[in-house]
Amino acid sequence: MKVIGVGNSAREKGASLEDAVASFFRHFGFRVETRVKMRDKSGVLHEIDVLAYKVEPFGTIRVAVECKNINSPVDIREIRNFHSKLLALNINKGIFISTCGFSAEATAYAKSLNIELWDSEVFKRKLYEVKLAEQDTKREKIIYDVLPVNEEFYQHVLPEHIMNREVLSVSNTKLEYLPLYLIKYYCFSQRKVAGNDVVIESKGYLIINATDGSIISCKCLSGNKPNIPELEAYNECLFITPRTIDLNQIIESTKFRVVNVISPEINEAQAEEQGKVWLVKTLTIDYKYSVRFPSKTVWRHRTIQPAKSDIRIDEIRLIRVPIISATLAFRGKEYVRRIQAATIKVLIDETKVCKFKHGSCTNSSIAVCENCGTIICNQHMKVCMRCNRPVCNDCAVGIGFLSKKYYCPEHKPD
């Protein structure tokens, strides 16, 4: 990938920056054109330094990038001109890159228009992260925006709700860093229905999986709540400060033989577009209103939803969340647990529910049958009269009729 600033003349430096931007978007699967000339509906000719587009299930993403390899900060006039160009060409996502940064007025104005600003340091960092994803995993890696692993996670690998958890052996443990986009949004939508103003207003955060664009969780701060689950295992990530880590040091300091850093498959523009699509779908309300006729009053319903233009993205950032996976085994039975290691929140726990009769029971589990290894609940558990070990109903041996006593197979009376 080319670096910023190669070339002698201003034109060569500008072309070098544009080519680096084009390579960056191609890494994420975009089709890219540089120095594109386009006419708007009025026939006016405009030039786009870099135009990146990609077809997704929810529509085509188009990103226009303005590139300035210059020696002075970009002022508000340049931002205003770029925004006018986006409106004329009906492009809803714009990124302005300046190697010398932006004035305070330009920064504030761009934020109000939802235009991303990348200075030289921001762009170099994005290029570096792409380079890291392409490196050999055996080489030294510095990973940015990583949530720290809680040092107490070792105490939570075995399930606390299982009374005899010490019989479970732990294997196939691995630590992986899952990339997530944290998106701070604000939605304000106003519609006229039967002469009434209907307002949809919402403010909060979305958490999006950076590997496939799926919505993982939502944290609504005020207003209408999107119909998206609020999962504390991920929402607590909003309040943890990310760090920069050396991957080799993590491997040396933990007990995990496998440490995997998952690379993002979508970029910020795709995540932002996907977030807006989900908010449009999930902030939909059913508005009930009355219509009066001379003889009666009729109640009617109308489905109201915001438009994508009603949604503003105030902030988007990538974080990497540590996830621990472990296989727990006993007597040939295996159970998987996945834990969010920054907050020690359990994501997947195959030991949580009783597995008696191949999972037909849905009760909460409390023990492992020490004869066959099945996870069992209180209803399907018996305790050996001699060794006090828990066994399942199938493995327990009952003696007596009126006051039946139970034994494990090893200690059943002769």
Residue 270 and residue 167 share a domain:
yes
Mean pLDDT across the stretch 59-80? 91
- In the predicted structure, residue 6 carries a pLDDT above the cut 90: no
pLDDT of 384: 96
How far is the C-alpha of 127 from the C-alpha of 144, rounded, in Å? 13
Is 339 part of any domain? Answer: no
- In the predicted structure, residue 5 carries a pLDDT above the cut 50: no
Is 134 part of any domain? Answer: no
The parent domain of residue 273 ranges over 142-323
pLDDT of 7: 45
Is 81 part of any domain? Answer: yes
Q: Which of 109-123, 130-144, 279-293, 358-372 has the lowest mean pLDDT?
A: 130-144
pLDDT tens for 239-282 read 999 998 887 777 666 666 678 889 899 988 899 999 999 999 99
pLDDT of 16: 83
Structurally, how many domains does the chain consist of? 3
What percent of the chain lies above the pLDDT cut of 90?
60
Residue 147 and residue 241 share a domain:
yes
pLDDT of 255: 63
Residue 151 and residue 36 share a domain:
no
pLDDT tens for 190-232 read 999 888 899 999 999 999 999 999 999 999 999 999 999 999 9
Residue 122 and residue 14 share a domain:
yes
Is 156 part of any domain? Answer: yes
pLDDT tens for 116-160 read 999 988 888 888 777 766 654 444 567 889 999 888 887 888 999
Is residue 57 very low, low, confident or very high in pLDDT (cuts 50, 70, 90)?
A: low
Is residue 1 very low, low, confident or very high in pLDDT (cuts 50, 70, 90)?
A: very low
Is 334 part of any domain? Answer: no
Residue 170 and residue 50 share a domain:
no
Residue 253 and residue 114 share a domain:
no
Mean pLDDT across the stretch 367-395? 95
Tell which of 302, 323, 344 closes a domain.
323
How far is the C-alpha of 26 from the C-alpha of 30, rounded, in Å? 5
The CATH number of the domain holding residue 17 is: 3.40.1350.10
Residue 304 and residue 180 share a domain:
yes
Residue 259 and residue 158 share a domain:
yes
Residue 38 and residue 108 share a domain:
yes
pLDDT of 3: 42
Residue 307 and residue 360 share a domain:
no
pLDDT of 98: 93
Residue 86 and residue 20 share a domain:
yes
Is 252 part of any domain? Answer: yes
Is 243 part of any domain? Answer: yes
pTM greater than the 0.95 cutoff: no
pLDDT of 403: 80
- In the predicted structure, residue 115 carries a pLDDT above the cut 90: yes
Is 347 part of any domain? Answer: no
pLDDT of 257: 63
Is residue 4 very low, low, confident or very high in pLDDT (cuts 50, 70, 90)?
A: very low
Residue 74 and residue 204 share a domain:
no
pLDDT tens for 148-193 read 988 888 788 899 999 999 999 988 888 999 999 999 999 999 999 8
